[in-house]
Structure formats: structure tokens, C-alpha cells
Structure 1
Amino acid sequence: MDTTALRDAYRTLLDAATTAADAPAPPDGGWDTDRILAHVSLVGAAALATAAGIASGANTTYDNRLAQDPWTLDHVIALTGDRAGLRDRIRLQGEALCAFGGPALSERELDTLVPTRLLSGGKVLVDQPLSLRDILTGLAEVELPGHTAQLLALLR
């Protein structure tokens, strides 16, 4: 699998995170920079766990609900120490996902169907099996660009 789009999406997100580092939280009570980055970190960790599960032959799932839990977001922020720590964690997760999505996994592994549940704003977006390839493509084409836009919107 060509992971160029995934690598580029991570780079663009991290550039936006640097640009929006000191942006104030939105007045509507939405996520600030730290929470957005913690969410992206948790989504990346879940994707890595899914890829590792497939590589190890284990039954696995992909579920982003924990990546939206307020306590878990705050816990990740505390564990990483600061925004630089969050950005570094996301950068390393992106590198690992690109390695898994590239030569580390076979085409059959990338096409493995995984029970998937994705929510956004309390609404179910996906509740069906997706291939690991589709999960990684979704990160590159939807998830990361969406959070890049969310970070840049904090500047307005």
C-alpha cells in the first residue's frame, strides 16, 4: 500500500497543530488544540493496535469511542506533558502506521475485515466491518484532514 497520502496528512496536521498552538478554545465549548491532538493520538493508537492485532493473527476491532471520552482525553494530555509531547506522539504514531501500511503487512493483511465502530459528535458514522486498508485510507482522506481544518478554525 502506498502510504504517501497518510504521511502527507500527518505532516499537514502537525503543521496546523504548530500554527494553532496558542489559539484560544472555541467560544462554543468545542475542543481546544490539546483536546484535538489528544483525540488524534488516541485514534492513531487504536489504528496501530488494530494493525498490530492483524499482524499478530489476533481477532481485533477498530473503535473510536474512547478517543472522544473527556477523561481519557485529559489523561492523554497529562501523560504527554505538553503540546510538544502530543505532537511528537502523533508524529511517531504516523511513522509507525505508514510502516505498517507499507511493506510491513501483506496485501491480504491490509484487506482483512475488522469490525469497526466510528462515532462523531455522538452520531454513528460507521458500524460495519472495514478493511485495515480502508481504515488507513480513512485516516488519510477524512480523519486527519478534518482535524487539520478543526485546528486551523481555532485561529478565526
Structure 2
Amino acid sequence: MDTTHLGRAYRDLTAAASAIGEAALPAARRADVDWTLAHVALSDEMLATAAERLLAGEPVTVDNRTAMDETVIAGLIARTSHAERVALVRRNGAAFVGLVRRIPAETAEGPVDLHVFDRAGRQVADERMPWGRIVRMRAEEHLPGHAARLAAIRDAASATRP
């Protein structure tokens, strides 16, 4: 599969997160940054596992429940620094991109089961869709949305610095 857009989305996300660094932020904004990076890192692990299964010719289910679980996310945040979370997103994203790059186009059109949960634990999607569509949504919607939010936090923090 072509990973041009996916790779760019990860670069944009990690650039915005890196620029925030350990800057003093209002508690709610810092919590949003921390949550976002933990969520993306956990999502990447889940998606990499799904990509490995797809490459092995096994049935694939994408279920983001763990990547939305407050306890799991809080644990990751508690044991890592901001810089470590950015590095984790960079590393997990690179692993995912590398796996996606190996997936043949015809395999990418095969359906996978998708179960999506929101932050409150409610299921918001339960469907089958082509793997390629899931990857495109990640590259064109999911990651850019997180990157834009992090960039806005970065810009607001820069505007308040003397």
C-alpha cells in the first residue's frame, strides 16, 4: 500500500507534539496532550497487530477499546514523560507504516471487522469495511485531527510566552 499520506500524518502529529514539549500549560490542555499521545500510541499498537494478522492471511478485527480505556491511558501517562510519549508515537507509527507498506493493494481491499468505542466506552461503530479505508481514515482524518488540536495548543502556548 502507498503510505505517503500516512507517513506525513505521523510527521505532522509528532512535530506538533514535540514543539509543545514540557511547556507549562493549563492543566486541561496538558491532560489533552497527554491523553492524545497515549491514545495514538495505543491505537498504533492495535493497528499494527491487525496489519500483521492481515499479512498472515488471518481474520482481522480492529477494536479500539483498549486505546480508549481511561485506566490503560492513565497508566501509560503515569509511567512516561511527554518526550517518551512522543517517541512512542513515533516508534509505533513507524512500525505501523512499515507493515502497511507491505500489504498488497488487493489485500487492502479485503474487509475487516471494525469496532469503535468513544471515550465514555460507548460503541459508536460496528461494521465491516476494507482495510484500505481504515488506513485512509487514519491518514486523512484521525491523525490530522489530533495534529491540528496539538498544533492549536502549541500555538496558544507560544502566544502566552514572553
What's the TM-score, normalizing by structure 1? 0.85
Displacement of 1:52 after TM fit? Answer: 0.7
Displacement of 1:124 after TM fit? Answer: 4.7
CA distance, structure 1, for counterparts of residue 118 and residue 31 of structure 2:
13
Equivalent position amino acid for 2:113 in 1: P
Partner of 2:105: 107
CA distance, structure 1, for counterparts of residue 134 and residue 41 of structure 2:
15
Partner of 2:141: 142
Rg larger in 1 or in 2? 2
CA distance, structure 2, for counterparts of residue 31 and residue 129 of structure 1:
33
Partners of 2:69 and 2:119 within 8 A in 1: no
CA distance, structure 2, for counterparts of residue 47 and residue 20 of structure 1:
26
Q: What does 1:57-68 correspond to in 2, within 5 Å?
A: 57-68=57-68
CA distance, structure 2, for counterparts of residue 131 and residue 50 of structure 1:
12
CA distance, structure 2, for counterparts of residue 146 and residue 25 of structure 1:
21
Displacement of 1:152 after TM fit? Answer: 2.6
Identical counterparts, % of pairs: 30
CA distance, structure 2, for counterparts of residue 53 and residue 45 of structure 1:
13
Structure whose residues are more often helix by fraction = 2
Partners of 1:25 and 1:33 within 8 A in 2: no
- The answer for unaligned runs of 5 or more in structure 2 is 157-162
1:117 pairs with 80, 97, 115, which one?
115
- Mapped pair 1:88 → 2:90: no
Partner of 1:50: 50
| Farther-moved stretch of structure 1 (114-123 vs 67-76) | 114-123
SS at match of 2:28: coil
Cα deviation code 1:78-124 (max 9, x no counterpart): 45x2122211111122222222222x122232122111022335465
- The answer for unaligned runs of 5 or more in structure 1 is none
